[in-house]
Amino acid sequence: MSNSGNGIFNVTRRGAIKGLAASTLLSTLPVRAWAEDVTLRWWSPQGSPDQVAAYKFQIEQFEAMHPGVKVVFETTSDEGYAPQLAAAFSSGEVPDVVTHLPSFSVASYYANGLVEPFDDVIEAIGASDYYPGANDVFKAADGKYFGTGIGNTAANMLWLRKDLMQAAGVDKAPETWDELRAACQAMQGGGVYGAPLPYGRNSMTSLIFIGVIHQAGGQVFTPDLEVDIDSEATRAALDFYGSMRELCPPGATNYSWGESLTAFVSGASATGIYAGRVLANVNAQNPDIADSVTCATYPRISTDVAPWTFNDFPSVFIPAQSKNKDAAKMFAAFLFNPEGYIKQLHAAPGHVLPVLKSISTNPMYLDNPIIKKYEAEVDLMASASAGGYNLGYESSAHKSNEKGGEVVGSGVIADLVQRVVLNGENVDTVLSETSQSIEAIMKG
């Protein structure tokens, strides 16, 4: 499909990106010249008021540099983006830039020819500025990159209240499931539940439980992408998840990301499981507990099993059907301009962490009250997320799984949890059927 954006794609995050003129047939035109007015549609499920304000700043800066280009921001949702994008791809009325979707979803879209290769944008941003291996998860089977990270997240950190721990005689952060259960039991009471784990049929249950399988020493796929979920490790994970149900609020049957976050931030649960948004939300919504909040990597079956951190590698990518690819690539690269990128990161400090080395050490980035106050927690999340994985990239030994997003989107793993933990169905039968369902997706 032809591009309606006509211009030299040569604007860096500092104002002068180089090396991308070859991406347009009309590279002789000045960078500010366009054959007609262009409107870029930017979609993201990350749309808190502070984040939208940061996006507005980035948009205004970009538009000032490029008269004739207008950027419109449109919010999706963590649970709703899949059907919205499916409808957009089907109709051809796609957004031009999409951010903050998990890498495994983008991998599935790319495998179906729906996403534009991103190699030239990565080079424009500065490939050497990324942390080592940061873009490995975005490398497709054809050797091309289908996107890049807009940030890192450590989505399954264990959040703790030091005041409740002290009152209950819990002297350290739990490292194993037995220690976690004991701590939650000791802290539960007086209207406070031990944990806000999700049990609903949604992506949070699927993604958190994938982590629990790994924390049991298991995996969903072998490194060669053979289905491996029917294992003793998964059975142990289901036993653990079932044992935690009585320590979670009654509404956890339908919990997803928002409900789980709110349970901890509001003080309704003694522990939490989420990424770094907890820090800003606690300080804004429940400052009385702000000095007591800390985090640790999520416990596992034993200390013989290494921690496994879920990083969805929030992405930026360009749909292949975009009619404005040149302008979209310029804007995608511009999102990493330090001033605007730091404002975006500061909109949810500690939640979306930098992917560029130069940003992590930038005094503007470090000059934030949340990042200063919770330096140890932010450092731990940065380290954990940098070594994190997801279903599209389960370990450094695994092949990239372009079907990971389809497996998560199918709800089959959340169904596994509901059928065994909530409905009491036979674990052997359900695991066998779950394996067959995943195998069918992989062959589809």
Q: Are residues 49 and 136 in the same domain?
A: yes
Closest CA relative to residue 177, chosen from 298, 82, 343, 318: 298
Q: What is the pLDDT of residues 324-362, one digit of tens each?
A: 999 999 999 999 999 999 999 999 899 989 999 999 999
Q: Are residues 63 and 120 in the same domain?
A: yes
pLDDT of 272 higher than 90: yes
Q: Are residues 29 and 133 in the same domain?
A: yes
Check if the beta carbon of residue 22 is closer than 8 Å to that of residue 36: no
Q: Are residues 233 and 359 in the same domain?
A: no
CA 3 – CA 325 distance, rounded (Å): 6
In a domain, 12, yes or no: no
Range of the domain at 230: 157-310+388-443
CA 175 – CA 245 distance, rounded (Å): 19
User: What is the CA angle 325-329-332, rounded to 5?
Assistant: 135
Q: What is the mean pLDDT of the chain?
A: 90
Q: Are residues 322 and 300 in the same domain?
A: no
Q: Report the share of the chain in percent with pLDDT over 70.
A: 91
Q: Are residues 65 and 75 in the same domain?
A: yes
Banded pLDDT at 82 (limits 50, 70, 90): confident
Q: What is the pLDDT of residues 383-423, one digit of tens each?
A: 899 889 999 989 989 988 999 989 999 999 999 999 999 99
Structural domains of the chain, count: 2
In a domain, 16, yes or no: no
Closest CA relative to residue 292, chosen from 278, 305, 302, 273: 278
Q: Are residues 335 and 395 in the same domain?
A: no
CA 170 – CA 305 distance, rounded (Å): 22
Q: Are residues 52 and 128 in the same domain?
A: yes
* pTM score: 0.83
CATH label of the domain that carries residue 173 = 3.40.190.10
In a domain, 7, yes or no: no
Q: Are residues 32 and 137 in the same domain?
A: yes
The lowest-confidence range among 32-36, 68-72, 199-203 is 32-36
Q: Which of 373, 397, 418 is the last residue of a domain?
A: 373
Q: What is the pLDDT of residue 34?
A: 53
Q: Which of 373, 405, 422 is the last residue of a domain?
A: 373
In a domain, 112, yes or no: yes
Banded pLDDT at 32 (limits 50, 70, 90): very low
pLDDT of 4 higher than 60: no
Reported in sequence order, the residue ranges of 174-240 that DSSP labels E, i.e. its strands, are none
Is the backbone of residue 24 left (phi > 0), alpha (psi -120 to 50) or beta? beta
In a domain, 265, yes or no: yes
pLDDT of 133 higher than 90: no
Q: Are residues 298 and 428 in the same domain?
A: yes
- Give kind and range of the element (H or E) at residue 74: strand 69-75
Q: Are residues 54 and 145 in the same domain?
A: yes
Q: Are residues 130 and 46 in the same domain?
A: yes
In a domain, 13, yes or no: no
Check if the beta carbon of residue 321 is closer than 8 Å to that of residue 401: no
In a domain, 9, yes or no: no
